[in-house]
Amino acid sequence: MYSIMIIGDNMDDVAKRIEELTELLNKANIDYYKYDNPTITDQEYDKYLRELTVLEEKYPDLKKDNSPNARVGGAVIDEFKKVVHEKPMLSLSNVFNESEIIQFDERIRKEVSNPKYVCELKIDGLSVSLLYQEGKLVRAATRGDGVVGEDITHNVKTVKDVPLTIKKTIDIEVRGEIYMSKASFEELNRIRKEDKVTLFANPRNAAAGSVRQLDSKVAASRKLSCFIYHLPNPEDYGIKTQEEALNFMSDLGFVTNPNNTLVNDVSELISFVENWTKKRDELPYEIDGVVIKLNSLEGWEKLGNTVKYPRWATAYKFPAKEVITKLTDIKFTVGRTGQITPNAVLEPVLLAGSTVTRATLHNENYVRDLGLKIGDYVTIIKAGDVIPAVIGVKEERRTGKEKDFEMITNCPVCGSKLVTSESGIDHYCSNKSCPARDIEGLIHFASRDAMDIEGLGERIIEDFYNLGFIKTIPDIFNLKRHREDLIELEGFGDKSVNNLLDSIEKVKGNSLEKVLFALGIRHVGKKTAKLLAKYYKTIDNLINAGEEELTNINDVGEIIAKSVKEYFSNPDNLRLIKSLKDLGVNLNYLSGSTDDKLAGRTYVLTGTLENYTRDELTKILEDLGAKVTSSVTKKTTGVIVGDKPGSKYDKAIKLGIEVIKEENVEKLIKW
């Protein structure tokens, strides 16, 4: 198709041939890299490149700015120059599920009617700003902190997808993503393994490591690619939509992603997301989500940006199934039964939208079976628990500096000897009053019959204890200090953390009997707590009560009185009460409290009840503050009727008193 021209030293001929070869090779590059459709063989390409190189070396003045040799790499810089972005390079907010996508669309709809979106693949690389003056690439920069980045022009010039000159001699800035294909990444790591140099963890790290090289030969050897997806100043070119911007940039010679799709509504948008969630592995490069951009640029103006993100776009992040990170230590925790659990301390890593720093290792055998050493690279997954699990070791990434795992023999909290379960698998602290068992007290404190903190169940308390967020009762009320950390945890978005913190705030207003029961004073059950609260009204009165005085209360015997006195003579417990007071927890009896939900009401029972004996139901109603009487009068609040009711039922009807069937009793007594 093409032939080598035999030329003399006629300067016009030389200039013409250089131009011809430059264009021919650039076209071949575009066909190969942009359209994935090679039009000349590799041998031909090399032959023309050699011819051009010889001519350029002989006549350097005739070398074109967009010569493919301008990319080869050779430029070495001393340090990265700082670059101030003319417009900040913003990042994107994230959404993680369908309902968050719908919420995003709803927020947009408040400002823009019938919004259309451009869905783009979220390329897992590093963002780059490319600046062209009069059609020539003059500067490439990293995002940096969004305001100031680093000049990486020398390296970016080696990226084949980045045009050195564009089709129009205009000034323009475009932004996109530099990335490494899966194939180039595999090949690079294969060679690095042979050379016994540290492997890159993923293509993104490899790409980032390549553009941050002072010597551009390194980047040139790394086979990087680039998709362009953003035009920061569309108004300069009369562009009105993201779709137009992408087409405009593609026409100028930039590589845009072929899968960019304009969708008409949120259901098409969700289909795009679902489709690529399934197909992501088929792509030759890694993506970590889908970027959703409002198509109308007028809408961009209306919605504006926060300091960090545009409000007109968001990124749907795929749930990462598993990630690899470094195990920096193994720490042991003691559960509420005294059971010892080894936990992986990890180099922070993003997994399914949250930063993971800990993972469970279950027990000693689990660690031994994995053959885990400290310093290993490990694979971790989220398995529906708050704390993820380590599931594998990357033995091939060992350096020889890893340390063997050693099982402990004494409790990490109280130092007591550990005992092994009969199965030989689990280890327990032998000290029945090991402080770590406080966890049991925390679970009781938050439980339904006690403070009733919605969302702070057994499992979460155990996890928060192991993560160090809640070690003592006051820590529960200080949990808001860890708000940011909590949001990062699996299953704890902004909303659920707010809900949890709200329920913690709410229970501060509980009546005294709930706090008394929650403290876990020996022999003080729910009923006794109520009696004490009703009688003494404030915790201070109770603290000051003498043992004998306590026994004066009906149903409070010597054993309970002694235990209460003992509890309040312990300075640790008094300190706890003071902390609770300081934290704003109510310590007074509130009449009409939840426990008293039936206070002032009078009920009559009649007929045979299926689920309760008369005595049982009477007790339940009385515990809730109601009176249970035997005859129906005008003052009766309701008559609870079972099977074959007697005359009391007739009387209730006659007096117009509420009749409550047994199936509705549950509703009445639930709180």
Residue positions annotated with a catalytic role:
122
Q: Which is nearer to ligand IVH, 355 or 538 (CB)?
A: 355
Q: Which is nearer to ligand IVH, 49 or 291 (CB)?
A: 291
* Spatial contact of 365 and 359, defined as CB atoms under 8 Å apart: no
Point out which span in 118-126, 441-449, 511-519, 541-549 binds ligand IVH (CB under 6 A): 118-126
Q: Which is nearer to ligand IVH, 294 or 556 (CB)?
A: 294
Question: Is residue 224 near ligand IVH by the rule CB under 6 A?
Answer: no
Question: Is residue 442 near ligand IVH by the rule CB under 6 A?
Answer: no
Q: Taking Cα atoms as reference points, which of 423, 428, 426 lies closest to residue 413?
A: 428
Query: In this chain, which of 28, 49, 92, 231 binds ligand IVH, going by CB under 6 A?
Result: 92
Helix or strand run (H / E) with residue 604: strand 602-606
* Spatial contact of 183 and 189, defined as CB atoms under 8 Å apart: no
Give the dihedral sign, CA 220/224/227/231. Answer: negative
Q: Which 125-144 positions form the footprint of ligand IVH (CB under 6 A)?
A: 127
Report which residue type is found at 372: L
Question: Is residue 152 near ligand IVH by the rule CB under 6 A?
Answer: no
Query: In this chain, which of 315, 460, 461, 532 binds ligand IVH, going by CB under 6 A?
Result: 315
> Which DSSP state fits 287?
E
Q: Which is nearer to ligand IVH, 95 or 497 (CB)?
A: 95
Q: How far is residue 445's CA from residue 671's CA, in Å, rounded to a whole number?
A: 17
Around Cβ 358, how many Cβ atoms within 10 Å? 21
Plot region of 300 (φ>0 → left; ψ -120 to 50 → alpha; else → beta): alpha
Question: Is residue 156 near ligand IVH by the rule CB under 6 A?
Answer: no
Smallest distance from the beta carbon of 252 to ligand IVH, in angstroms?
17
> Which DSSP state fits 321?
S
Question: Is residue 120 near ligand IVH by the rule CB under 6 A?
Answer: yes
Query: In this chain, which of 45, 80, 185, 229 binds ligand IVH, going by CB under 6 A?
Result: 229
Q: How far is residue 211's CA from residue 226's CA, in Å, rounded to a whole number?
A: 12
Q: Which 394-433 positions form the footprint of ligand IVH (CB under 6 A)?
A: none
What the block records as the tokens of 617 is: 């139901």
Question: Is residue 310 near ligand IVH by the rule CB under 6 A?
Answer: yes
Q: Which is nearer to ligand IVH, 95 or 640 (CB)?
A: 95
* Spatial contact of 620 and 666, defined as CB atoms under 8 Å apart: no
Q: What is the pattern of x (binds ligand IVH, CB under 6 A) and - over residues 356-395?
A: ----------------------------------------
Residue 392 CB burial class (10 angstroms; 0-12, 13-18, ≥19): middle
Query: In this chain, which of 18, 123, 228, 605 binds ligand IVH, going by CB under 6 A?
Result: 123
Question: Is residue 542 near ligand IVH by the rule CB under 6 A?
Answer: no
Q: What is the pattern of x (binds ligand IVH, CB under 6 A) and - over residues 170-209?
A: -------x--------------------------------
3-class DSSP state of 516: helix
Smallest distance from the beta carbon of 291 to ligand IVH, in angstroms?
4
Point out which span in 88-96, 266-274, 406-414, 559-567 binds ligand IVH (CB under 6 A): 88-96
3-class DSSP state of 664: helix
* Angle, in degrees to the nearest 10, between helices 98-109 and 266-279: 150
Query: In this chain, which of 28, 140, 211, 291 binds ligand IVH, going by CB under 6 A?
Result: 291
Total site size for ligand IVH, rule CB under 6 A: 14
Q: Taking Cα atoms as reference points, which of 11, 6, 8, 5 lies closest to residue 24?
A: 5
> Which DSSP state fits 319?
P
Question: Is residue 231 near ligand IVH by the rule CB under 6 A?
Answer: no
Determine phi and psi for 127, rounding to 5 degrees.
-80, 150
Q: What is the pattern of x (binds ligand IVH, CB under 6 A) and - over residues 98-117?
A: --------------------
Q: How far is residue 469's CA from residue 460's CA, in Å, rounded to a whole number?
A: 11
Around Cβ 324, how many Cβ atoms within 10 Å? 15
The strand pairing partners of 351, in sequence order, are 354
Query: In this chain, which of 17, 34, 116, 122 binds ligand IVH, going by CB under 6 A?
Result: 122
What the block records as the tokens of 582 is: 């300081």
Question: Is residue 255 near ligand IVH by the rule CB under 6 A?
Answer: no
The residue number whose beta carbon is nearest to ligand IVH equals 127
**Positions that interact with ligand IVH (CB under 6 A):** 90-92, 120, 122-123, 127, 177, 229-230, 291, 310, 313, 315
